[in-house]
Amino acid sequence: MAILETRQLNKHFGGLHVTGNVDFALQPGEMHCLIGPNGAGKSTFFKLILGEHLPDSGAILYDGEEITRAKPFERIRKGISVKFQVPGIFKELSVQQNLTIALQHHVAPEILQEEIDRLLAFLKLSQDRKQLAGNLSHGQKQWLEIGMAVALKPRLLLLDEPTAGMTPDETFATGEMLQELNREGMTLLAVEHDMAFVRQIAHQVTVLHFGKIFAQGTIDEITADERVAAIYLGEVDA
Ligand SMILES: Nc1ncnc2c1ncn2[C@@H]1O[C@H](COP(=O)(O)OP(=O)(O)OP(=O)(O)O)[C@@H](O)[C@H]1O
Protein backbone atom coordinates (compact mmCIF):
# COMPACT_ATOMS: atom_id res chain seq x y z
CA MET A 1 0.00 0.00 0.00
CA ALA A 2 1.19 3.52 -0.81
CA ILE A 3 2.39 5.59 2.16
CA LEU A 4 0.98 8.69 0.48
CA GLU A 5 -1.68 8.90 -2.18
CA THR A 6 -3.67 11.69 -3.77
CA ARG A 7 -6.84 10.98 -5.72
CA GLN A 8 -8.18 13.46 -8.24
CA LEU A 9 -6.76 16.31 -6.16
CA ASN A 10 -7.79 19.78 -7.28
CA LYS A 11 -6.96 23.30 -6.16
CA HIS A 12 -7.92 26.60 -7.81
CA PHE A 13 -6.72 30.09 -7.02
CA GLY A 14 -9.37 32.28 -8.62
CA GLY A 15 -9.50 31.11 -12.22
CA LEU A 16 -6.09 29.44 -12.03
CA HIS A 17 -6.15 25.64 -11.84
CA VAL A 18 -2.96 25.11 -9.81
CA THR A 19 -3.51 21.43 -8.98
CA GLY A 20 -5.49 19.56 -11.61
CA ASN A 21 -6.90 16.06 -10.98
CA VAL A 22 -3.62 14.84 -9.52
CA ASP A 23 -3.46 11.07 -8.92
CA PHE A 24 -0.16 10.45 -7.20
CA ALA A 25 1.19 7.51 -5.19
CA LEU A 26 4.36 7.28 -3.16
CA GLN A 27 5.53 3.82 -2.12
CA PRO A 28 7.08 3.20 1.32
CA GLY A 29 10.87 3.43 1.14
CA GLU A 30 10.86 5.46 -2.06
CA MET A 31 12.95 8.57 -2.76
CA HIS A 32 10.86 10.57 -5.16
CA CYS A 33 11.59 13.94 -6.75
CA LEU A 34 8.99 16.38 -8.00
CA ILE A 35 10.22 18.61 -10.80
CA GLY A 36 8.65 21.07 -13.22
CA PRO A 37 9.06 24.60 -14.53
CA ASN A 38 8.43 27.66 -12.35
CA GLY A 39 4.77 27.99 -11.46
CA ALA A 40 4.02 24.32 -12.26
CA GLY A 41 2.30 23.92 -8.89
CA LYS A 42 4.97 22.01 -6.96
CA SER A 43 4.80 24.14 -3.79
CA THR A 44 1.01 24.13 -3.87
CA PHE A 45 0.99 20.32 -4.09
CA PHE A 46 3.28 20.20 -1.02
CA LYS A 47 1.05 22.58 0.89
CA LEU A 48 -1.98 20.41 0.13
CA ILE A 49 -0.14 17.35 1.47
CA LEU A 50 0.82 19.27 4.61
CA GLY A 51 -2.63 20.76 5.17
CA GLU A 52 -1.51 24.37 4.70
CA HIS A 53 -3.97 24.58 1.82
CA LEU A 54 -7.21 22.62 1.61
CA PRO A 55 -8.15 21.18 -1.79
CA ASP A 56 -11.33 22.12 -3.63
CA SER A 57 -11.96 18.44 -4.32
CA GLY A 58 -10.24 15.08 -4.25
CA ALA A 59 -8.60 13.11 -1.45
CA ILE A 60 -5.25 12.68 0.28
CA LEU A 61 -4.45 9.39 2.01
CA TYR A 62 -1.56 8.65 4.36
CA ASP A 63 -1.00 4.97 5.05
CA GLY A 64 -4.45 4.29 3.63
CA GLU A 65 -6.15 6.74 6.00
CA GLU A 66 -7.83 9.83 4.64
CA ILE A 67 -6.15 13.05 5.85
CA THR A 68 -7.59 15.42 3.22
CA ARG A 69 -8.88 17.89 5.82
CA ALA A 70 -6.70 16.99 8.80
CA LYS A 71 -4.94 19.89 10.53
CA PRO A 72 -1.18 20.27 9.83
CA PHE A 73 -0.24 19.25 13.40
CA GLU A 74 -2.34 16.09 13.09
CA ARG A 75 -0.39 15.15 9.96
CA ILE A 76 2.89 15.77 11.76
CA ARG A 77 1.74 13.56 14.62
CA LYS A 78 1.03 10.78 12.14
CA GLY A 79 4.66 10.86 10.96
CA ILE A 80 4.90 13.46 8.19
CA SER A 81 7.65 16.07 8.49
CA VAL A 82 8.86 18.87 6.25
CA LYS A 83 11.95 20.88 5.53
CA PHE A 84 11.06 24.16 3.90
CA GLN A 85 13.36 26.19 1.68
CA VAL A 86 13.73 29.05 4.16
CA PRO A 87 15.48 27.77 7.28
CA GLY A 88 13.23 27.87 10.34
CA ILE A 89 16.10 27.52 12.80
CA PHE A 90 16.68 29.81 15.79
CA LYS A 91 19.62 31.93 14.70
CA GLU A 92 20.45 33.34 18.14
CA LEU A 93 20.70 29.88 19.70
CA SER A 94 23.52 27.39 19.31
CA VAL A 95 23.31 24.36 17.03
CA GLN A 96 22.99 22.12 20.07
CA GLN A 97 20.22 24.27 21.57
CA ASN A 98 18.29 24.13 18.30
CA LEU A 99 18.40 20.33 18.31
CA THR A 100 17.46 20.27 21.99
CA ILE A 101 14.31 22.24 21.19
CA ALA A 102 13.39 19.78 18.44
CA LEU A 103 13.92 16.77 20.71
CA GLN A 104 13.27 17.69 24.33
CA HIS A 105 9.53 17.03 24.56
CA HIS A 106 9.78 13.75 22.72
CA VAL A 107 12.87 12.03 24.03
CA ALA A 108 13.46 10.73 27.57
CA PRO A 109 15.86 13.07 29.44
CA GLU A 110 18.39 10.29 30.05
CA ILE A 111 18.91 9.71 26.31
CA LEU A 112 18.56 13.35 25.16
CA GLN A 113 22.31 14.05 24.97
CA GLU A 114 22.93 10.76 23.15
CA GLU A 115 20.27 11.64 20.56
CA ILE A 116 21.71 15.15 20.11
CA ASP A 117 25.20 13.68 19.59
CA ARG A 118 23.82 11.20 17.07
CA LEU A 119 22.10 13.98 15.12
CA LEU A 120 25.17 16.25 15.27
CA ALA A 121 27.37 13.49 13.82
CA PHE A 122 24.80 12.71 11.12
CA LEU A 123 24.62 16.41 10.16
CA LYS A 124 28.43 16.81 10.14
CA LEU A 125 27.98 19.53 12.78
CA SER A 126 29.68 17.90 15.80
CA GLN A 127 32.52 20.47 15.68
CA ASP A 128 30.01 23.33 15.48
CA ARG A 129 27.70 22.31 18.32
CA LYS A 130 28.39 25.51 20.30
CA GLN A 131 28.27 27.80 17.26
CA LEU A 132 25.29 30.12 16.96
CA ALA A 133 23.02 28.78 14.23
CA GLY A 134 23.02 32.22 12.60
CA ASN A 135 26.81 31.96 12.09
CA LEU A 136 26.68 28.68 10.17
CA SER A 137 27.29 28.60 6.41
CA HIS A 138 24.22 28.49 4.17
CA GLY A 139 24.65 24.74 3.60
CA GLN A 140 25.13 24.00 7.30
CA LYS A 141 21.95 25.94 8.13
CA GLN A 142 20.06 23.75 5.67
CA TRP A 143 21.53 20.64 7.31
CA LEU A 144 20.52 21.84 10.75
CA GLU A 145 17.03 22.37 9.39
CA ILE A 146 17.04 18.81 8.03
CA GLY A 147 18.14 17.67 11.49
CA MET A 148 15.22 19.47 13.11
CA ALA A 149 12.82 17.99 10.58
CA VAL A 150 14.06 14.42 11.17
CA ALA A 151 14.66 14.67 14.93
CA LEU A 152 11.38 12.91 15.62
CA LYS A 153 12.10 10.17 13.06
CA PRO A 154 9.18 10.82 10.71
CA ARG A 155 8.15 8.08 8.29
CA LEU A 156 7.67 10.57 5.46
CA LEU A 157 9.91 13.60 4.89
CA LEU A 158 8.99 16.35 2.43
CA LEU A 159 11.78 18.66 1.27
CA ASP A 160 11.25 21.87 -0.68
CA GLU A 161 14.36 22.52 -2.78
CA PRO A 162 16.73 21.19 -0.11
CA THR A 163 19.89 22.12 -2.03
CA ALA A 164 18.93 25.63 -3.20
CA GLY A 165 21.95 27.94 -2.93
CA MET A 166 24.36 25.14 -1.99
CA THR A 167 27.79 24.52 -3.48
CA PRO A 168 28.16 21.29 -5.53
CA ASP A 169 30.03 19.66 -2.61
CA GLU A 170 27.31 20.62 -0.12
CA THR A 171 24.66 19.38 -2.55
CA PHE A 172 26.38 16.01 -2.87
CA ALA A 173 26.79 15.70 0.92
CA THR A 174 23.08 16.51 1.31
CA GLY A 175 22.25 13.71 -1.12
CA GLU A 176 24.32 11.30 0.98
CA MET A 177 22.51 12.41 4.14
CA LEU A 178 19.13 11.83 2.56
CA GLN A 179 20.25 8.42 1.28
CA GLU A 180 21.26 7.49 4.81
CA LEU A 181 17.81 8.48 6.11
CA ASN A 182 16.27 6.42 3.33
CA ARG A 183 18.40 3.37 4.22
CA GLU A 184 17.01 3.66 7.75
CA GLY A 185 13.50 3.38 6.29
CA MET A 186 12.38 6.96 5.69
CA THR A 187 10.32 7.76 2.60
CA LEU A 188 11.27 11.05 0.92
CA LEU A 189 9.54 13.40 -1.48
CA ALA A 190 11.60 16.39 -2.65
CA VAL A 191 10.85 19.33 -4.89
CA GLU A 192 14.12 19.97 -6.69
CA HIS A 193 15.52 21.91 -9.62
CA ASP A 194 19.09 20.56 -9.60
CA MET A 195 19.03 17.62 -11.98
CA ALA A 196 22.43 16.29 -10.83
CA PHE A 197 20.95 16.01 -7.35
CA VAL A 198 17.79 14.38 -8.70
CA ARG A 199 19.99 11.85 -10.48
CA GLN A 200 21.93 11.21 -7.28
CA ILE A 201 18.91 10.46 -5.06
CA ALA A 202 15.69 9.79 -6.96
CA HIS A 203 14.24 6.33 -7.52
CA GLN A 204 11.29 7.92 -9.28
CA VAL A 205 10.63 11.36 -10.74
CA THR A 206 7.31 13.12 -11.33
CA VAL A 207 7.09 16.09 -13.67
CA LEU A 208 4.36 18.62 -12.93
CA HIS A 209 3.26 21.07 -15.60
CA PHE A 210 0.38 23.52 -15.22
CA GLY A 211 -0.72 21.64 -12.11
CA LYS A 212 -1.02 18.26 -13.81
CA ILE A 213 1.23 15.19 -13.83
CA PHE A 214 2.97 15.46 -17.18
CA ALA A 215 5.39 12.53 -16.94
CA GLN A 216 6.62 9.96 -14.44
CA GLY A 217 9.53 7.55 -14.48
CA THR A 218 13.16 7.02 -13.60
CA ILE A 219 15.59 9.89 -14.12
CA ASP A 220 16.85 8.22 -17.31
CA GLU A 221 13.33 7.94 -18.69
CA ILE A 222 12.56 11.56 -17.79
CA THR A 223 15.75 13.03 -19.24
CA ALA A 224 15.28 11.02 -22.44
CA ASP A 225 11.69 12.29 -22.85
CA GLU A 226 11.63 15.03 -25.50
CA ARG A 227 8.19 16.20 -24.31
CA VAL A 228 9.72 16.98 -20.92
CA ALA A 229 12.57 18.96 -22.50
CA ALA A 230 9.98 20.87 -24.52
CA ILE A 231 8.06 22.07 -21.43
CA TYR A 232 11.25 23.51 -19.95
CA LEU A 233 11.80 25.37 -23.22
CA GLY A 234 8.25 26.73 -23.02
CA GLU A 235 7.16 24.76 -26.07
CA VAL A 236 4.22 22.92 -24.48
CA ASP A 237 1.08 24.83 -23.46
CA ALA A 238 -1.59 23.96 -20.92
N1 LIG B 1 -1.91 31.66 -2.46
C2 LIG B 1 -1.95 31.84 -3.78
N3 LIG B 1 -2.86 32.66 -4.33
C4 LIG B 1 -2.94 32.84 -5.68
N5 LIG B 1 -2.14 32.22 -6.57
C6 LIG B 1 -1.20 31.39 -6.07
C7 LIG B 1 -1.05 31.16 -4.66
N8 LIG B 1 -0.02 30.27 -4.48
C9 LIG B 1 0.44 29.99 -5.71
N10 LIG B 1 -0.26 30.65 -6.67
C11 LIG B 1 -0.05 30.54 -8.12
O12 LIG B 1 -0.16 29.17 -8.45
C13 LIG B 1 0.80 28.83 -9.47
C14 LIG B 1 1.65 27.67 -8.96
O15 LIG B 1 2.49 28.14 -7.91
P16 LIG B 1 3.46 27.18 -7.09
O17 LIG B 1 4.20 28.05 -6.14
O18 LIG B 1 2.71 26.03 -6.55
O19 LIG B 1 4.44 26.69 -8.26
P20 LIG B 1 5.88 26.03 -8.17
O21 LIG B 1 5.90 24.94 -9.17
O22 LIG B 1 6.19 25.69 -6.76
O23 LIG B 1 6.81 27.22 -8.66
P24 LIG B 1 8.37 27.55 -8.32
O25 LIG B 1 9.19 26.48 -8.97
O26 LIG B 1 8.55 28.88 -8.99
O27 LIG B 1 8.51 27.60 -6.83
C28 LIG B 1 1.58 30.09 -9.77
O29 LIG B 1 1.04 30.68 -10.92
C30 LIG B 1 1.35 30.95 -8.55
O31 LIG B 1 1.41 32.32 -8.87
Q: Considering the entire predicted model, what is its pTM? A: 0.93
Residue with the smallest CA separation from ligand 1 atom 28 is 39
Is the distance from CB of 230 to CB of 222 less than 8 angstroms? no
Q: CB burial class (10 A; 0-12, 13-18, 19+) of residue 21?
A: middle
Average model confidence (pLDDT) for the chain?
Answer: 93
Ligand 1 and 39: CB distance under 6 A: yes
pLDDT band (50, 70, 90) for residue 87: low
- Taking the CB of residue 207, how many other CB atoms lie within 10 A of it? 23
Is the distance from CB of 201 to CB of 179 less than 8 angstroms? yes
Tell me: the pLDDT tens digits for 165-191? 999 999 999 999 999 999 999 999 999
Report the first-to-last Cα separation within the chain, whole angstroms.
Answer: 32
CA distance 196 to 115: 32
Tell me: the pLDDT tens digits for 102-159? 998 888 999 999 999 999 999 999 999 999 999 999 999 999 999 999 988 899 999 9
Alpha-helical (H) ranges within 151-218 are: 168-183, 195-201
- For the chain, which residues make up each domain, given as ranges? 1-70+192-238, 89-143
Ligand 1 and 232: CB distance under 6 A: no
Residue with the smallest CA separation from ligand 1 atom 3 is 13
Paired sense of beta strands 156-160 and 187-191, if any: parallel
Percent of the chain with pLDDT over 70: 98
- Considering the segment(s) 1-70+192-238 as one domain, its CATH architecture is 3-Layer(aba) Sandwich (3.40)
